[in-house]
Amino acid sequence: PSPLAGSQQVFGFVRFVVCAVVLSLEMAEKAGAALSVEDQISEQEAKPMTADEKKFFDAALASLTKEQQTKFASVPLDVLLIVRGFANEEKRMEETLKATQHIAEWRDKVGYYEFFEKHLEGDSQFHKVWPEYICGTDKYGHFVQGIRIGEIDTDELLKLDEEQLLRLQGQKMKSYAVYKQDLSKASGVQRYKHTMLVDLHNISMSMLMGKKKNLLKKIFDIGSTYYPETMFKIYLINAPLVFRAIWAVIKPWLHPITVAKVNLLGSSKEALKKFELDGLPASQVPKWLGGTYEPVLCFDYVSQLIAEKRPHAS
């Protein structure tokens, strides 16, 4: 072959290699972009228990009394959530066992396994002064919990018996767990997390001070302490400027996964755009945030479970 032909062959080969490398890099970039933090979390959430997790699962159950073991093991996912919730702890085994025992003791104390046998004392008043809503689902299948801060009457909350109030909050959180369980069965994909939409319109700064602040913290702590690993994303809508300023300062200090969960947004119009980008269409967003979804009052759902006398592990 002539020198020219040889040069053309070399050039052709080099071009082929360069194109292959560029294509490979583009595919890698697309794959990396596609696998967002939310994708990773949802992928992990859907996976069954691993062999490594099974060791912690068995140890957690073994740390309980025989009666507690039987009750806890009736819904294996409950134990797995604790195992996954403490996966990044330095003393993972110790913290996992401690949390399992603490949750088991709380369940015995509040009558967790009989939550839907009858209406609890003061439930209608509790849900009246702290209404919450069950909205649609996102693209992953997570249900959306809605809270309108302006509807929460903290003055009336303070009048309720605190121990009973926290028990009612526990019942509410269990109703959400049952709702997610039913969604998972219907879709065939394990989903134990959910998204929270919090409308901060008409928020009173007095809610963040003194006795009111302490009570609100205790209420929210019920979820984080006794229902671990259940929050997917939190959207704070109609956030005042003070919230945005505080968030701008602390955001760089937080883990990327934590940052991905919390979104401070301005108006409902701005929020709808963000929801759409995150896979939550307007058809699944409540009407009071500009969507078209007709939400269900949490109290109505709890009442439905009680009417059915929904047994644990069903």
Determine the pLDDT at residue 100. Answer: 98
Question: What would the pLDDT profile of 230-280 be if each residue is shown by its tens digit?
Answer: 999 999 999 888 767 666 766 776 666 667 788 889 999 999 999 999 999
Token pair listed for 98:
């401690």
The average pLDDT across 287-305 equals 97
Cα three-residue angle 117-183-73, rounded to 5 degrees: 55
Determine the pLDDT at residue 69. Answer: 97
The sign of the dihedral angle between the CA atoms of 31, 257, 89, 232 is negative
Q: Is 195 exposed, middle or buried (0-12, 13-18, 19+ CB in 10 A)?
A: buried
The sign of the dihedral angle between the CA atoms of 92, 97, 102, 108 is positive
Question: What would the pLDDT profile of 19-64 be if each residue is shown by its tens digit?
Answer: 443 344 344 344 445 578 899 999 999 999 999 999 999 999 999 9
What order do you get walking across the sheet with 296-297 strand by strand? 262-264, 231-237, 194-199, 143-148, 132-137, 296-297
Token pair listed for 75:
């819904």
Rounded to whole angstroms, the Cα distance separating 151 from 130 reads 7
Given a contact cutoff of 8 angstroms between Cβ atoms, the answer to whether 53 and 96 are in contact is no
Rounded to whole angstroms, the Cα distance separating 210 from 125 reads 23
Residue whose C-alpha is closest to residue 99's, from 73, 69, 64, 50: 64
Bigger pLDDT: 200 vs 115: 115
Q: Which residue has the tokens 């839907």?
A: 116
Given a contact cutoff of 8 angstroms between Cβ atoms, the answer to whether 141 and 309 are in contact is no
Report whether pLDDT(200) > 80.
yes
Given a contact cutoff of 8 angstroms between Cβ atoms, the answer to whether 133 and 179 are in contact is no
Question: What would the pLDDT profile of 107-118 be if each residue is shown by its tens digit?
Answer: 999 999 999 999
Determine the pLDDT at residue 21. Answer: 38
* AA identity, residue 73: A
Determine the pLDDT at residue 252. Answer: 75
